[in-house]
């Protein structure tokens, strides 16, 4: 295991983005603006990790098309070690609608992302062994994501699971492999419903009593750390009592950072990639400081349009907020 290295295993999509005054209602047609660019939760997080200062490998599956060529070119531009499984399927795509308030709705066409195999992930064992953090999401086959965390555990890396999108079933065995779980409100509510038997309202999660929220986190992941991202309200951190990650408290909130948001599409990915990079750069820093950095990084990402393209550079974050 090496310091300052992150491996991200996940998806690459070509994003097709329409921006309008409001999100369209069923049956409604709106006029808006269109642009296209790189995305996919995995790639967004890999770009965030690299731009936040960590040496980054990205394991994915790509088609033999212009989308795959785009991914390879962009990886080179950001210094990302791209490890892609070739696929006969087209490179993944996403249709994204963004309202004037920055809110978004997304439909994904998995394409090549669905073709990534556990055996291809297994062939990336060396990258896992050299990484301080291995970060995964759920836009790739669960069996492949599970294998990535198994390899990360064998290597002694921090195993970071971003359980997104919320509609994907997360097996109990996958949760058991995670050292660090990073759901947003919707994902957290879905996980609780499936694994804890608890019903919580995602929209009012930020208003829950801290002790109750901590109890929910411990029920969901008894052995590790849960960071629930709460949008503009910041996030809630819950540690297992046996590992506080350098913090003095078992649970606490970290306030959100002010931002002039124009597009929140990749904010969660920005947070995850930046947190992985912070952990890899200096694992000895208190976790609260690493989360604060990730919050700042995510806030700045919302001030730019797009997903991967919106990720800020480390120098820009330091220039705004200090080191």
- The domain locations on the chain are 5-24+34-313
Binding site, annotated residues? 13-15, 40-44, 139, 184, 229-234, 263, 265, 268-269, 295, 301, 304, 306
- 282 assigned to active site: no
pLDDT score of 50 more than 90: yes
Binding positions for K(+): 263, 265, 301, 304, 306
Mean pLDDT of 40-59: 97
Give pLDDT, residue 235: 95
- Over residues 92-109, the mean pLDDT reads 87
Task: Count Cβ atoms below 10 Å from residue 175 Cβ, excluding itself.
Answer: 20
Q: Which of 247, 248, 212 is nearest to 228 (CA)?
A: 212
Class of domain 5-24+34-313: alpha beta
pLDDT band at 1 (very low <50, low <70, confident <90, very high): low
Binding site for ATP, residues?
Answer: 184, 229-234, 268-269, 295
Compute how many other C-beta atoms are within 10 angstroms of the C-beta atom of residue 117.
16
Digit-coded pLDDT (tens) for 204-255: 999 999 999 999 999 999 999 999 999 889 999 999 999 999 999 999 999 9
CA-closest candidate to residue 42, choices 34, 50, 53, 32? 50
Return the pLDDT at 306: 82
| Structure confidence at residue 105 as a pLDDT band (50, 70, 90) | confident
Confidence (pTM): 0.93
The single residue of 78, 81, 269, 282 carrying the catalytic annotation is 269
């Amino acid at each position: 295991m090496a310091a300052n290295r992150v491996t991200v295993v996940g998806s690459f999509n070509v994003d097709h983005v329409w921006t309008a005054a409001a999100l369209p209602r069923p049956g409604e047609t709106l006029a808006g603006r269109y642009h296209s660019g790189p995305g996919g939760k995995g790639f967004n997080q890999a770009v965030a990790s690299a731009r936040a200062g960590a040496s980054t490998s990205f394991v994915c599956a790509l088609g033999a098309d212009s989308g795959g060529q785009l991914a390879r070119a962009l990886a080179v531009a950001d210094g990302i070690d791209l490890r892609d499984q070739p696929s006969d399927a087209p490179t993944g795509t996403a249709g994204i609608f963004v309202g004037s308030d920055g809110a978004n709705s997304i439909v994904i066409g998995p394409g090549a992302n669905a073709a990534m195999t556990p055996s291809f992930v297994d062939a990336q064992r060396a990258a896992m062994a050299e990484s301080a953090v291995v970060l995964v999401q759920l836009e790739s086959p669960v069996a492949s994501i599970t294998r990535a965390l198994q390899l990360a555990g064998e290597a002694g890396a921090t195993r970071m699971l971003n359980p997104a999108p919320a509609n994907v079933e997360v097996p109990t065995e996958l949760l058991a492999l995670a050292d660090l779980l990073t759901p947003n409100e919707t994902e957290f509510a879905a996980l609780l419903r499936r694994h804890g038997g608890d019903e919580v309202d995602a929209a009012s999660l930020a208003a829950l009593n801290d002790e109750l929220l901590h109890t929910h986190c411990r029920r969901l992941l008894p052995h590790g750390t849960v960071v629930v991202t709460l949008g503009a309200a910041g996030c809630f951190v819950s540690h297992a009592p046996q590992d506080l990650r350098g913090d003095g408290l078992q649970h606490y909130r970290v306030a959100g950072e002010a931002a002039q948001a124009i597009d929140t599409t990749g904010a969660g990915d920005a947070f995850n990639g930046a947190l992985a990079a912070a952990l890899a750069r200096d694992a000895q820093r208190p976790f609260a400081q690493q989360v604060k950095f990730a919050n700042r990084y995510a806030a700045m990402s919302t001030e730019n349009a797009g997903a991967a393209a919106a990720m800020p550079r480390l120098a820009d974050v330091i220039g705004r907020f200090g080191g």
